[in-house]
Structure 1
Amino acid sequence: MMTLDISSPMTLPCGVRVKNRIAKAPMTEGLADPMNRATKRHVTLYRKWADGGAGILVTGNVQVDRRYLERPGNVVIDDNGGLDELRAFAAAGTTNNTLLFMQIGHAGRQTPRRVNPRPVAPSEISLALPDAAFGRPRALTAEEVEDVIRRFTHVATVAKKTGFSGVQVHGAHGYLISEFLSPLANQRTDKWGGSLENRARLLRETVRSIRAAVGPEYPISVKLNSSDFQKGGFSHEDCLQVVKWLEEDTVDLLEISGGNYENPAMMIGARGADEIRSTTVAREAYFMGYARSIRAATNIPLMVTGGFRTRATMDAALTEGDVDIIGIGRPLCVDTDAPQQLLSGKAEGAIAYEQQIKPSKGALGWFCLNLIRIADGLAPDREMTGDLAIAAYLANEEETAAALEGRRLE
């Protein structure tokens, strides 16, 4: 068994070298301007993260269609210009020999009602969540599905043109591609629904189209659920077959996650993995049990995000061979240099701030607000309470949504 640790470099199948085994996991930023373009705040934030030592930075959701956003402050690439801003964003995120992957997504039926009260989805099936948050979707036409593929491909070509090191297709967490994969959300009877082969067609054709556009030497990553953790949904067995297909489609890096808005395992841990958690590594990193079986199904390099905090666990996971890249998310919303601290041996682990936030329901807002503070050139507020975080986060989202709506009315 080869001994690896987080400082070990690696080469992706496309030939691109990664300087170490730590990646900043994708996290929504909400920093776009009212035209959904990148801003100086992205530059400030990503330069801090690039200087922080990670080998790869994966951006938050960059959307392919402004009508269907994950939140009002998403960056969108369509006909809104913003190429110079994207170049500045890419230049900041690729300093210090860092790779910057643009995560590309479409929110589908998980578009907030405030953004669009009538989102789109594979089928006209609503989220099992309060109607106040998400409107009832309409089913995409076959022609619109083809247009989604074109939009993903366009954004990928812009990413390459403006200096991003690679792209990640978001096929997880209940967004549009994930919805197509799920038999609960996708009840179509055309070539985009029914069998797993048909439900995976949108993902596969998107990857193939991007590959044809960017060439063989440009990294393409996919974020995929190990499972939706919903009875009758996208199962782990489905996942194993899809990753075999993605290997045929020349994917360079696969990030393993799980869950969706209805069952947010990506935030609270993969409860469904309890029966296969047998090692210390699996207990700390809650998708590692699934990564083990995925590793047996594919040679695609695997990135696992979710729960990793100690260097000992990260190194052990790499040496065991079930993971190639360690994804770290929430700690970097506070300690942007956490990767360098781990690599240098100055810290034995990243701080698990989520265990300190009271009340815990304020965690999402707490991390988002500290990310925004860093983007504004401010120090993170480690003393912020969960209640304050909830109120301030909602106020920020309201302000961002109002600015977006004001722009639409001009």
Structure 2
Amino acid sequence: MRVAEPLKLKNSVELKNRFFKSAMSETMANKRNQPNEKHIQLYRAWATGGAGVVVTGNVMVDRNALGEPGNVVIEDEQDIDILREWARYGTQNNTQLWMQINHPGKQSPKSMSKEPVAPSAVPMANKYKGAFSPPRELTEGEIKNLVIRFVNTARIAKKAGFTGVQIHGAHGYLINQFLSPHDNRRKDAYGGSLENRMKFLIEIYEGMREILGHSYPIALKLNSSDFNTMGFTEDESLQVVEKMASIGLNLIEISGGNYEKPKMSTGTDSEIFFIDYAQKLKERMDIPVVVTGGFRSFESMEIALEQNHTDMIGIARPLALEPHLPNQILAGSNVGITTQHLTTGFHALDVKIGPAVGNFYYAMQLKRIAQGKSVRRHNNAWWPLLHLVGTHGSEAFKPRRKK
């Protein structure tokens, strides 16, 4: 069985199998954005569940720039003890635990940031203007400071015992904003050509590599495209991966879209998201690739690996419903790899609330796992909807990313 085979990275780190638990936002930090016992128990469940790599939900580098309530923030070593516990339990069972490191840029809601920052002062599209304040353009000095913040968070992750890091360069967050010509209209060394637009990402990576060493895994989550005619294109994405592979990046996870264009599929007939892009990538360069999303059968996983369309099987939401899914598959169980389709029974309402309620439903399951409870599988959108409104009030239906 191909999913059971180990994968050796070029830095000689060996991943025990091909299951990759992709990032999901836990939103479980306390009011001071600190990790806690819930994180420990949730990641303990995933570590014992059998995945070769488990990636955390995005950890922010600046307490004044959050993507949503409940984000973990690491600016210094004040939480090193609880981070060590998180890493200790999350690396059980020979599991690789990688911290996803991020900054939201302009995708920080009004409730989080009154004046978010971005490469350029380009506001969100009209549909989202009510939820996000217009961003302020970063100065070159502030950009350099943010590079330092990313590197410092990675340093603390390694010190705490996390076995790798993933740079979040997708989903319209800050690094993706720098890469996108729609969001990045700068005239200095960080704007204009693709070479300049990827400078922020390269400086973050090179800073991390210098302090973490060449044997420590550094991965990147990157959009295949922004699915926007003025945004980051597939060809540009391929060029970025080619550059990052040439300077030592260990692994690339493919994703796509942002708040304004939250597309999570290539639009092809393939059940697996981004598989066509991954094929193009693998034809051009030699770097391990993770395709996340759309795997709904053991057979599709095996075919994707056998045909060299991907090197690892990225799974997210199914692991919020069954954290031991990899073990079950490896044991030969014929398990269904499913997610829940929630509905209120009213199509128009479902369209309006669907993304917010769906994200909240899975966040609720993560909290149940963290509390040692069984998940609640159902299709009734009213239950998470009422909890969502009770928890967030008027903020309930503002956009939130799940990864």
TM over 0.5: yes
Give, in angstroms, the shift of residue 41 of structure 1: 0.1
Q: 1:174-230 CA distances to partner (integer Å, 9 max, x unpaired)?
A: 000000000000000000010000111111111111000100000000000000101
Query: Take 1:189 and 1:347, find their aligned partners in 2: how far apart are those partners?
Result: 56
Aligned to 2:2, what secondary structure does the other structure show? coil
Q: Which residue of 1 aligns with 2:209?
A: 211
Query: Take 1:355 and 1:321, find their aligned partners in 2: how far apart are those partners?
Result: 34
Residue 370 and residue 11 in structure 1: after superposition, are their counterparts in 2 closer, same or farther (change >3 A)? same
Query: Take 1:332 and 1:138, find their aligned partners in 2: how far apart are those partners?
Result: 38
Q: Which residue of 2 aligns with 1:270?
A: 266
The question of 1:380 aligning with 2:367 is answered no
Give, in angstroms, the shift of residue 370 of structure 1: 1.1
Give, in angstroms, the shift of residue 398 of structure 1: 5.7
Aligned amino acid, residue 366 of structure 2 = L
Give, in angstroms, the shift of residue 344 of structure 1: 1.1
Q: Which residue of 2 aligns with 1:391?
A: 386
Residue 198 and residue 104 in structure 1: after superposition, are their counterparts in 2 closer, same or farther (change >3 A)? same
Q: How does the TM-score come out when normalised to structure 2?
A: 0.92
Residue 43 and residue 399 in structure 1: after superposition, are their counterparts in 2 closer, same or farther (change >3 A)? farther
Aligned to 2:121, what secondary structure does the other structure show? coil
User: In the TM superposition, what are the counterparts of 1:90-169 in structure 2 within 5 Å?
Assistant: 90-128=87-125, 129-169=127-167
Query: Take 2:390 and 2:151, find their aligned partners in 1: how far apart are those partners?
Result: 34
User: In the TM superposition, what are the counterparts of 1:2-401 in structure 2 within 5 Å?
Assistant: 5-79=2-76, 81-128=78-125, 129-266=127-264, 269-271=265-267, 274=268, 277=269, 283-354=270-341, 359=350, 361=354, 362-383=357-378, 385-397=380-392
Q: Which residue of 2 aligns with 1:408?
A: none
Give, in angstroms, the shift of residue 297 of structure 1: 2.0
Query: Take 1:150 and 1:250, find their aligned partners in 2: how far apart are those partners?
Result: 20
Give, in angstroms, the shift of residue 157 of structure 1: 0.4
Q: How does the TM-score come out when normalised to structure 1?
A: 0.91
Query: Take 2:393 and 2:73, find their aligned partners in 1: how far apart are those partners?
Result: 19
Query: Take 2:305 and 2:342, find their aligned partners in 1: how far apart are those partners?
Result: 25
Aligned amino acid, residue 113 of structure 1 = K
Aligned amino acid, residue 118 of structure 1 = E
Residue 394 and residue 238 in structure 1: after superposition, are their counterparts in 2 closer, same or farther (change >3 A)? farther
Asked whether the 8 Å contact 1:37–1:80 carries over to 2, the reply is: no
Query: Take 1:193 and 1:37, find their aligned partners in 2: how far apart are those partners?
Result: 34
Give, in angstroms, the shift of residue 357 of structure 1: 8.6
Q: Which residue of 1 aligns with 2:400?
A: none
Residue 295 and residue 97 in structure 1: after superposition, are their counterparts in 2 closer, same or farther (change >3 A)? same
Query: Take 2:184 and 2:389, find their aligned partners in 1: how far apart are those partners?
Result: 31
Q: 1:299-348 CA distances to partner (integer Å, 9 max, x unpaired)?
A: 11001101112110011101111210111000111111111111111124
Query: Take 2:81 and 2:215, find their aligned partners in 1: how far apart are those partners?
Result: 24
Give, in angstroms, the shift of residue 371 of structure 1: 1.2
Q: CA RMSD in A?
A: 1.8
Give, in angstroms, the shift of residue 355 of structure 1: 7.3
Give, in angstroms, the shift of residue 260 of structure 1: 0.4
Aligned amino acid, residue 158 of structure 2 = K
Query: Take 2:343 and 2:247, find their aligned partners in 1: how far apart are those partners?
Result: 42
Query: Take 1:80 and 1:296, find their aligned partners in 2: how far apart are those partners?
Result: 42
